[in-house]
């Protein structure tokens, strides 16, 4: 898929519905979990004054909704990223744009650098130079969406960071094996493999956050219920 930076923002905006669905589903799921936890907490306090039960229910529901909102925001971005990589092939498109920007920067380098790069036909760019070109290209592209909405900026920034990390790792392997970076060959290789490689890495952190939330929320409700029971017995 051949797209420029402007049309990229349109594709990113098209992911908003995917993100909204994920966010809403997460919030609803945690809210329902909060209703169950609130009911359990209220059951343990049902023999005492109704105020304690009301406190426990309110706290459990508030904590569940808050957890749903926080995790839902993370899931929304990650789900949108995964959809963009798997369906819209945005990894390939962004990698293409990053390398085009790198090649443009290389061609516009100072005369001493330019003559060396042209002489080798971009086939043996030193690793340090390739890393610098990559960083400059990503920084420039991150600034290109500065005027667009928060969601577009967030998703593109995340995608560019993933593309940079993926490309940098491949550059270092290439530099160690060949003593230099063939930018044109790397461009072709990474465009071909970017989406498959990135879509496997992006959800990793989300699984950890989800597991922590699923464990922490019941634990917090249990602890606060226990504390309320201790306070009741202390007053009695």
Which of 17-31, 69-83, 142-156, 165-179 tops mean pLDDT?
17-31
Asked if the model's pLDDT at residue 1 lies above 60, the reply is no
Question: Could you report the per-residue pLDDT of 215-231, keeping only the tens digit for each?
Answer: 999 999 999 999 999 99
pTM: 0.73
| 8 Å CB contact between 121 and 129 | no
Q: Where are the domains of the chain?
A: 1-88+203-236, 90-201
Stretch 45-52: mean pLDDT: 88
Please give the Cα distance from 167 to 190 (Å, whole number). Answer: 7
| pLDDT confidence of residue 115 | 45
Q: List CB contacts of 10: < 8 A, sequence separation 6 or more.
A: none
Q: Which residues are CB-neighbours of 79 under 8 A, at least 6 positions away? A: 18, 19, 22
DSSP label at residue 121: T
Q: Residue 223 — φ and ψ, nearest 5°? A: -65, -45
């Amino acid at each position: 898929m051949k797209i420029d930076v402007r049309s990229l923002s349109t594709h990113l905006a098209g992911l908003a519905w995917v993100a909204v669905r994920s966010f809403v589903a997460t919030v609803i799921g945690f809210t329902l979990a909060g209703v169950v936890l609130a009911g359990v907490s209220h059951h343990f306090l049902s023999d005492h004054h109704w105020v304690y039960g009301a406190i426990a229910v309110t706290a459990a529901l508030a904590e569940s909704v808050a957890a749903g909102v926080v995790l839902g925001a993370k899931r929304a971005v990650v789900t949108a990223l995964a959809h963009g990589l798997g369906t819209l092939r945005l990894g390939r498109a962004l990698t293409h744009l990053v390398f085009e920007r790198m090649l443009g920067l290389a061609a516009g380098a100072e005369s001493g650098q330019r003559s060396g790069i042209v002489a080798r036909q971009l086939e043996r760019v030193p690793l340090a130079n390739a890393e610098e070109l990559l960083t400059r290209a990503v920084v420039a592209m991150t600034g290109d969406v500065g005027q667009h909405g928060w969601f577009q900026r967030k998703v593109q920034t995340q995608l560019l960071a993933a593309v940079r990390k993926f490309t940098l790792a491949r550059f270092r392997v290439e530099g160690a094996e060949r003593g230099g970076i063939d930018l044109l060959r790397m461009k072709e290789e990474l465009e071909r493999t970017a989406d498959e490689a990135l879509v496997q890495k992006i959800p990793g952190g989300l699984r950890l956050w989800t597991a922590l939330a699923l464990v922490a929320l019941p634990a917090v409700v249990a602890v606060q219920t226990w504390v309320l029971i201790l306070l009741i017995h202390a007053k009695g």
